[in-house]
Protein backbone atom coordinates (compact mmCIF):
# COMPACT_ATOMS: atom_id res chain seq x y z
CA UNK A 1 0.00 0.00 0.00
CA UNK A 2 1.32 3.47 -0.89
CA UNK A 3 2.08 5.54 2.20
CA UNK A 4 0.28 8.82 2.72
CA UNK A 5 2.39 11.96 2.71
CA UNK A 6 1.12 15.30 4.02
CA UNK A 7 3.02 18.29 2.65
CA UNK A 8 2.57 21.93 1.63
CA UNK A 9 0.91 22.30 -1.76
CA UNK A 10 2.73 24.01 -4.62
CA UNK A 11 1.64 25.52 -7.91
CA UNK A 12 2.13 22.28 -9.88
CA UNK A 13 -0.56 20.62 -7.71
CA UNK A 14 -3.32 22.84 -9.03
CA UNK A 15 -4.28 20.73 -12.06
CA UNK A 16 -4.44 17.32 -10.31
CA UNK A 17 -6.35 18.83 -7.38
CA UNK A 18 -8.87 20.74 -9.49
CA UNK A 19 -9.63 17.52 -11.38
CA UNK A 20 -11.56 16.26 -8.36
CA UNK A 21 -12.73 19.64 -7.04
CA UNK A 22 -15.17 20.57 -9.78
CA UNK A 23 -18.46 18.87 -8.91
CA UNK A 24 -18.01 18.45 -5.18
CA UNK A 25 -21.38 19.96 -4.33
CA UNK A 26 -24.67 20.27 -6.26
CA UNK A 27 -23.62 23.79 -7.25
CA UNK A 28 -20.02 22.85 -8.16
CA UNK A 29 -17.03 24.02 -6.13
CA UNK A 30 -15.09 27.21 -5.42
CA UNK A 31 -11.55 25.79 -5.06
CA UNK A 32 -10.44 26.99 -8.51
CA UNK A 33 -11.30 30.57 -7.50
CA UNK A 34 -9.30 30.49 -4.26
CA UNK A 35 -6.37 28.19 -5.16
CA UNK A 36 -3.89 30.95 -6.11
CA UNK A 37 -4.87 33.07 -3.14
CA UNK A 38 -4.57 30.22 -0.65
CA UNK A 39 -1.26 29.15 -2.14
CA UNK A 40 0.12 32.66 -1.72
CA UNK A 41 -1.24 32.86 1.85
CA UNK A 42 0.52 29.60 2.74
CA UNK A 43 -0.73 26.71 4.90
CA UNK A 44 -2.38 24.98 1.95
CA UNK A 45 -1.83 21.36 2.94
CA UNK A 46 -1.93 18.47 0.54
CA UNK A 47 -2.27 14.72 1.03
CA UNK A 48 -0.42 12.61 -1.49
CA UNK A 49 -0.32 8.92 -2.28
CA UNK A 50 1.03 8.22 -5.77
CA UNK A 51 -0.75 11.43 -6.76
CA UNK A 52 -2.37 14.24 -4.79
CA UNK A 53 -5.59 12.92 -3.19
CA UNK A 54 -6.71 15.70 -0.86
CA UNK A 55 -6.28 19.25 0.39
CA UNK A 56 -7.17 21.53 3.26
CA UNK A 57 -6.28 25.15 3.90
CA UNK A 58 -5.61 26.69 7.31
CA UNK A 59 -5.63 30.34 8.24
CA UNK A 60 -3.93 31.14 11.54
CA UNK A 61 -4.93 34.36 13.26
CA UNK A 62 -4.98 35.74 16.81
CA UNK A 63 -5.88 32.76 18.94
CA UNK A 64 -7.53 30.55 16.35
CA UNK A 65 -7.14 28.28 13.35
CA UNK A 66 -9.69 28.57 10.58
CA UNK A 67 -9.81 25.34 8.60
CA UNK A 68 -11.39 25.50 5.16
CA UNK A 69 -11.56 23.78 1.78
CA UNK A 70 -11.20 20.16 2.90
CA UNK A 71 -11.49 18.08 -0.25
CA UNK A 72 -10.71 14.40 -0.68
CA UNK A 73 -10.72 12.68 -4.06
CA UNK A 74 -13.93 10.55 -4.05
CA UNK A 75 -11.85 7.42 -4.81
CA UNK A 76 -9.87 7.88 -1.62
CA UNK A 77 -12.53 8.78 0.92
CA UNK A 78 -13.01 7.00 4.24
CA UNK A 79 -9.29 6.32 4.58
CA UNK A 80 -8.77 8.89 7.32
CA UNK A 81 -7.12 11.30 4.90
CA UNK A 82 -9.25 14.35 5.80
CA UNK A 83 -8.68 13.58 9.49
CA UNK A 84 -4.94 13.51 8.95
CA UNK A 85 -4.99 16.82 7.07
CA UNK A 86 -7.01 18.47 9.84
CA UNK A 87 -4.72 17.06 12.53
CA UNK A 88 -1.70 18.33 10.59
CA UNK A 89 -3.22 21.85 10.55
CA UNK A 90 -4.00 21.55 14.27
CA UNK A 91 -0.45 20.48 15.19
CA UNK A 92 0.91 23.61 13.49
CA UNK A 93 -1.70 25.66 15.38
CA UNK A 94 -0.55 24.12 18.66
CA UNK A 95 3.05 25.00 17.82
CA UNK A 96 1.81 28.59 17.43
CA UNK A 97 0.10 28.30 20.85
CA UNK A 98 -3.38 28.80 19.41
CA UNK A 99 -6.30 27.69 21.55
CA UNK A 100 -9.19 27.21 19.13
CA UNK A 101 -9.88 25.62 15.78
CA UNK A 102 -12.97 26.35 13.71
CA UNK A 103 -14.48 25.16 10.45
CA UNK A 104 -17.66 26.19 8.66
CA UNK A 105 -19.89 23.28 7.59
CA UNK A 106 -23.21 23.37 5.78
CA UNK A 107 -25.92 22.00 8.10
CA UNK A 108 -26.88 19.60 5.30
CA UNK A 109 -23.36 18.24 4.81
CA UNK A 110 -23.85 15.27 7.13
CA UNK A 111 -20.63 13.52 6.02
CA UNK A 112 -18.50 16.52 6.88
CA UNK A 113 -20.41 17.03 10.14
CA UNK A 114 -19.66 13.39 11.05
CA UNK A 115 -16.02 13.93 10.23
CA UNK A 116 -15.86 17.05 12.43
CA UNK A 117 -17.65 15.20 15.25
CA UNK A 118 -15.22 12.30 14.98
CA UNK A 119 -12.40 14.83 15.40
CA UNK A 120 -14.09 16.18 18.55
CA UNK A 121 -15.35 19.44 17.06
CA UNK A 122 -18.53 20.79 18.67
CA UNK A 123 -21.21 22.97 17.08
CA UNK A 124 -20.30 26.48 18.25
CA UNK A 125 -22.69 28.67 16.27
CA UNK A 126 -25.22 28.25 13.49
CA UNK A 127 -25.26 30.95 10.85
CA UNK A 128 -27.99 31.83 8.41
CA UNK A 129 -27.05 32.75 4.90
CA UNK A 130 -29.08 35.23 2.86
CA UNK A 131 -28.62 37.01 -0.40
CA UNK A 132 -30.01 40.40 -1.30
CA UNK A 133 -30.38 42.23 -4.60
CA UNK A 134 -28.83 45.68 -5.04
CA UNK A 135 -31.43 48.41 -5.57
CA UNK A 136 -31.64 52.17 -5.35
CA UNK A 137 -33.29 53.20 -2.08
CA UNK A 138 -33.45 56.36 -0.03
CA UNK A 139 -34.59 57.42 3.43
CA UNK A 140 -32.85 54.72 5.48
CA UNK A 141 -31.93 55.56 9.05
CA UNK A 142 -28.37 54.25 9.09
CA UNK A 143 -25.14 55.81 10.29
CA UNK A 144 -21.49 54.80 10.53
CA UNK A 145 -20.55 53.34 13.90
CA UNK A 146 -17.38 54.44 15.72
CA UNK A 147 -17.79 52.86 19.17
CA UNK A 148 -18.51 49.23 18.45
CA UNK A 149 -18.83 46.91 21.46
CA UNK A 150 -16.48 43.98 20.86
CA UNK A 151 -17.61 42.29 24.06
CA UNK A 152 -21.04 41.79 22.53
CA UNK A 153 -19.87 41.19 18.95
CA UNK A 154 -16.44 39.62 18.88
CA UNK A 155 -16.16 38.16 15.36
CA UNK A 156 -16.97 39.12 11.80
CA UNK A 157 -17.06 37.36 8.44
CA UNK A 158 -14.24 38.00 6.02
CA UNK A 159 -14.31 35.90 2.85
CA UNK A 160 -16.19 33.12 4.65
CA UNK A 161 -13.87 33.15 7.61
CA UNK A 162 -15.25 33.96 11.04
CA UNK A 163 -12.44 36.12 12.39
CA UNK A 164 -11.93 37.91 15.70
CA UNK A 165 -12.27 41.69 15.63
CA UNK A 166 -8.88 42.71 17.03
CA UNK A 167 -7.65 46.30 17.60
CA UNK A 168 -6.11 46.63 14.17
CA UNK A 169 -9.20 45.27 12.39
CA UNK A 170 -11.49 47.58 14.35
CA UNK A 171 -9.32 50.58 13.51
CA UNK A 172 -9.47 49.87 9.80
CA UNK A 173 -13.22 49.12 9.93
CA UNK A 174 -13.76 52.54 11.52
CA UNK A 175 -11.43 54.33 9.12
CA UNK A 176 -13.08 52.79 6.08
CA UNK A 177 -16.64 53.35 7.38
CA UNK A 178 -17.36 49.65 7.25
CA UNK A 179 -19.43 49.35 10.42
CA UNK A 180 -22.98 50.64 10.13
CA UNK A 181 -25.68 50.98 12.74
CA UNK A 182 -29.40 51.53 12.76
CA UNK A 183 -31.14 52.61 15.92
CA UNK A 184 -34.93 52.39 16.02
CA UNK A 185 -36.92 52.77 19.26
CA UNK A 186 -33.79 52.18 21.32
CA UNK A 187 -32.93 48.91 19.52
CA UNK A 188 -29.60 48.87 17.67
CA UNK A 189 -28.63 46.57 14.82
CA UNK A 190 -25.18 46.58 13.23
CA UNK A 191 -23.55 45.34 10.06
CA UNK A 192 -19.93 44.99 9.02
CA UNK A 193 -19.26 45.37 5.31
CA UNK A 194 -16.53 43.62 3.36
CA UNK A 195 -15.69 43.03 -0.29
CA UNK A 196 -15.20 39.38 -1.16
CA UNK A 197 -11.55 38.69 -1.86
CA UNK A 198 -12.42 35.88 -4.25
CA UNK A 199 -15.60 36.85 -6.03
CA UNK A 200 -15.91 40.02 -8.06
CA UNK A 201 -18.43 42.68 -7.15
CA UNK A 202 -19.65 40.76 -4.10
CA UNK A 203 -20.41 42.50 -0.83
CA UNK A 204 -20.12 40.24 2.24
CA UNK A 205 -22.05 41.43 5.26
CA UNK A 206 -21.96 40.31 8.90
CA UNK A 207 -25.31 41.27 10.38
CA UNK A 208 -25.96 41.61 14.11
CA UNK A 209 -29.70 41.92 14.38
CA UNK A 210 -31.56 43.16 17.45
CA UNK A 211 -34.88 44.25 15.99
CA UNK A 212 -36.79 43.81 12.74
CA UNK A 213 -37.26 47.54 12.20
CA UNK A 214 -33.58 48.40 12.52
CA UNK A 215 -32.59 45.46 10.29
CA UNK A 216 -35.00 46.63 7.59
CA UNK A 217 -33.25 50.00 7.62
CA UNK A 218 -29.88 48.27 7.27
CA UNK A 219 -31.09 46.09 4.37
CA UNK A 220 -32.39 49.13 2.56
CA UNK A 221 -29.03 50.88 3.10
CA UNK A 222 -27.12 47.81 1.85
CA UNK A 223 -29.11 47.63 -1.36
CA UNK A 224 -28.45 51.27 -2.09
CA UNK A 225 -24.79 51.08 -0.98
CA UNK A 226 -24.28 48.23 -3.44
CA UNK A 227 -25.69 50.21 -6.33
CA UNK A 228 -23.50 53.21 -5.45
CA UNK A 229 -20.38 51.07 -5.01
CA UNK A 230 -20.86 48.82 -8.00
CA UNK A 231 -21.55 45.55 -6.18
CA UNK A 232 -23.70 43.04 -8.06
CA UNK A 233 -24.28 40.59 -5.20
CA UNK A 234 -24.92 41.01 -1.49
CA UNK A 235 -24.27 37.99 0.75
CA UNK A 236 -25.34 38.14 4.37
78 near ligand COA, judged by CB under 6 A: yes
Judged by CB under 6 A, the stretch of 80-88, 91-99, 131-139, 202-210 that binds ligand COA is 80-88
Instruction: Please identify, using beta-carbon distances, which residue of 72 and 207 lies nearer to ligand COA.
Output: 72
Judged by CB under 6 A, the stretch of 31-39, 68-76, 148-156, 213-221 that binds ligand COA is 68-76
Q: How many helices (H) and strands (E) does the chain have?
A: 6, 13
DSSP 3: P
What string of DSSP letters covers 138-178?
A: -----EE-SS--TTT--EEEETTEEEE--HHHHHHHHHTT-
Task: Name, in order, each residue with C-beta under 8 angstroms of 228's C-beta and a sequence gap of 6 or more.
Answer: none
Instruction: Please identify, using beta-carbon distances, which residue of 117 and 150 lies nearer to ligand COA.
Output: 117
CB contact at 8 A, 178 and 212: no
| Of the candidate residues 39, 105, 132, 184, the single one contacting ligand COA (CB under 6 A) | 105
- From residue 81 to residue 100, the character string flagging contacts with ligand COA as x (rule: CB under 6 A) and all else as - is xxx-----------------
Judged by CB under 6 A, the stretch of 78-86, 156-164, 166-174, 186-194 that binds ligand COA is 78-86
**Maximum alpha-carbon separation in the chain:** 67
| Of the candidate residues 6, 98, 112, 121, the single one contacting ligand COA (CB under 6 A) | 112
61 near ligand COA, judged by CB under 6 A: no
Judged by CB under 6 A, the stretch of 102-110, 124-132, 184-192, 220-228 that binds ligand COA is 102-110
Q: How far apart are CA 190 and CA 183, in angstroms?
A: 9
Q: How far apart are CA 125 and CA 122, in angstroms?
A: 9
Of 129, 135, 130, 131, nearest in space to 225 by CA: 135
Minimum CB–partner distance for residue 78 and ligand COA (Å): 5
Instruction: Please identify, using beta-carbon distances, which residue of 71 and 88 lies nearer to ligand COA.
Output: 71
Instruction: Please identify, using beta-carbon distances, which residue of 66 and 231 lies nearer to ligand COA.
Output: 66
Tell me the pairing of strands 100-103 and 143-144.
Answer: unpaired
- Please provide residue 131's backbone torsions phi and psi, each rounded to the nearest 5 degrees: -125, 155
- Please provide residue 137's backbone torsions phi and psi, each rounded to the nearest 5 degrees: -135, 165
31 near ligand COA, judged by CB under 6 A: no
107 near ligand COA, judged by CB under 6 A: no
Judged by CB under 6 A, the stretch of 30-38, 107-115, 180-188, 207-215 that binds ligand COA is 107-115
CB contact at 8 A, 89 and 10: no
Which residues in this chain contact ligand COA in the complex, by CB under 6 A? 24, 70-72, 77-83, 103, 105, 109, 111-112, 114-115, 118
Amino acid sequence: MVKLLIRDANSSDKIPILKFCKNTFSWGDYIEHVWNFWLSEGSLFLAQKQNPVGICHAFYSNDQIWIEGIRINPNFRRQNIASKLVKHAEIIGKEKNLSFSFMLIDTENSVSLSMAKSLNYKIFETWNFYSLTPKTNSNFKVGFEKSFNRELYSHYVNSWRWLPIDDQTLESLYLENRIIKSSISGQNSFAILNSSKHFEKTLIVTLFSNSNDSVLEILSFLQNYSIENNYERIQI
